[in-house]
Amino acid sequence: KNAEEMSDIIKKFESEAMEIEQKYEQKLTSQYESLNLKHRMEITEIEERKNMQIANLIKNHEKAFLDMKNYYNDITINNLSLIQSLKEQMEVMKSSEDRTKKQARESITENKKLTTDLKSSTEQVAELTRQLTNYEKDKLCLSNTKKKLAAVSKDYDNLKWENEVLEMRFEKCQKERDELHSRFVSSILELQQKTGLKNVLLEKKLDKLSEVLEQREAQIGEVLAAAQLDPATTGQISQKFEDILNRKNTAIQDLQYDLAKACKAHDDLLMNYENKLQEYGIADSPLGQPLRSIRKKRNNRTDKILSNLC
C-alpha cells in the first residue's frame, strides 16, 4: 500500500514538474520573441539615424569644400597682385642697393682711416690707464703701509711696556728663586750634617760592639780551655753563650738596619733635591760637593749592610 501511495505521489510530482516546465518554456519563448522584436526595432532606428548623420556630413563637407575653393581662388588672385608689386619693389631696391654699395665702399675707406686713428688713440688710452692703475696701486699701498706702521708702532709700544713689566716680574721671581735656593741649600747642608753625625755615631757604636763581641769570644775560649770541663757542661755553657751572642747579633743587626734606613732617607732627600734643581733649571754646584758621588758611596754602604742582614 505504501508503495502504491509513493508511486502515485511520484507520478503526481512528475506531472506537476512537466506542467511547470512547459509553462516556463512558453514564457521563455514569448520573452525571447518580444526581446528579439525590440532589438530589431532599435537596430532599424539606429540605421535611420546613421543614414541621416551621413547625409548631413556629406552636405556640410560639400559646402566647406566650396567655401575653401572660393577662399584659395581669392588668395591666388591676391598673390598675383602681390607678386607684381614685389617685382616693382625689387627694381626700386636694386637701384637703392647700387647706391648703398657705393656708399659702403666710401664708408670702408673712411673706416680704415678712422681705425688707424682709433688704434693709435686706444694705445694712448691703454698707456694712460696703466699709469693711472699703477698710481692708484701705489697710493693704496702707501695708505696701507701707513696704517700698518701705525699698528706696528702701537704694538711695539705695548710690547715694550709688557717687556718692562715682564722684566720686573722676572727680577722679582729671580730674587724669590735665589732666596728659596739659599734657604733650601741651608736646610740640605744642615740635614747632611745631622745625618752624617748620626751615621758616624751609629758606625762607632757598631764597631765597638763588634770589638767587645770578639773579646768575649776569645775570653770564653780561654776559660773553656783552662777549665777542661766535661762535654755536657761545655755544651750547656756554649749554648748559653750562643744565646747571648744571638741577642747581641740581633742588636747589631737592628743598629745596622737603622743605619741603612738613615742612609736611604739621606739619599732620597738628595735625589729629590737634585730633581727640583733640574726642574727649576739650577745647577747643583752651589752646595760645594758632588751630590751624585756622595749618594753613590752611601748607596754602596747601604747595599752592603742590607746584604749582611740577609
Q: What pLDDT score was predicted for residue 296?
A: 47
Q: What pLDDT score was predicted for residue 184?
A: 66
* Cβ(255)–Cβ(231) below 8 Å: no
Q: What pLDDT score was predicted for residue 295?
A: 43
Asked if pLDDT for residue 280 goes beyond 70, the answer is no
For residue 200, tell me if it sits in a domain: yes
Domain count, the chain: 1
pLDDT in tens, 226-277: 655 555 665 666 666 667 767 767 776 777 777 777 777 777 777 777 777 6
**CA atoms of 10 and 48, how far apart (whole Å):** 57
For residue 212, tell me if it sits in a domain: yes
Q: Which residue has the higher pLDDT, 94 or 281?
A: 94
For residue 75, tell me if it sits in a domain: no
pLDDT in tens, 51-85: 898 889 889 888 888 888 888 888 888 888 888 88
* Cβ(258)–Cβ(212) below 8 Å: no
Lowest-confidence pick of 76-80, 152-156, 166-170, 202-206: 202-206
**CA atoms of 41 and 303, how far apart (whole Å):** 139
For residue 225, tell me if it sits in a domain: yes
68: number of CA atoms within 13 Å, CB side? 6
Q: What pLDDT score was predicted for residue 291?
A: 40
Q: What pLDDT score was predicted for residue 125?
A: 81
- Looking at the chain, the whole-number percentage of residues with pLDDT higher than 90 is 0
Query: 190 is in which domain, residue-wise?
Result: 180-309
pTM for this model (two decimals): 0.28
Q: What pLDDT score was predicted for residue 109?
A: 84
For residue 117, tell me if it sits in a domain: no
pLDDT band of residue 301 (cuts 50, 70, 90) is very low
Nearest CA among 186, 191, 249, 193 for reference residue 217: 249
For residue 284, tell me if it sits in a domain: yes
Which of 139-143, 198-202, 285-289, 290-294 shows the highest mean pLDDT? Answer: 139-143
Q: Which residue has the higher pLDDT, 145 or 205?
A: 145
For residue 243, tell me if it sits in a domain: yes
* Cβ(306)–Cβ(201) below 8 Å: no
For residue 167, tell me if it sits in a domain: no
**CA atoms of 175 and 169, how far apart (whole Å):** 10
Mention every residue, 6+ apart, whose C-beta is less than 8 A from residue 277: 283, 284
What residue has cell string 738596619? 257
Query: DSSP class of residue 288?
Result: S
Nearest CA among 148, 146, 158, 252 for reference residue 205: 252
Asked if pLDDT for residue 309 goes beyond 70, the answer is no
Asked if pLDDT for residue 223 goes beyond 80, the answer is no
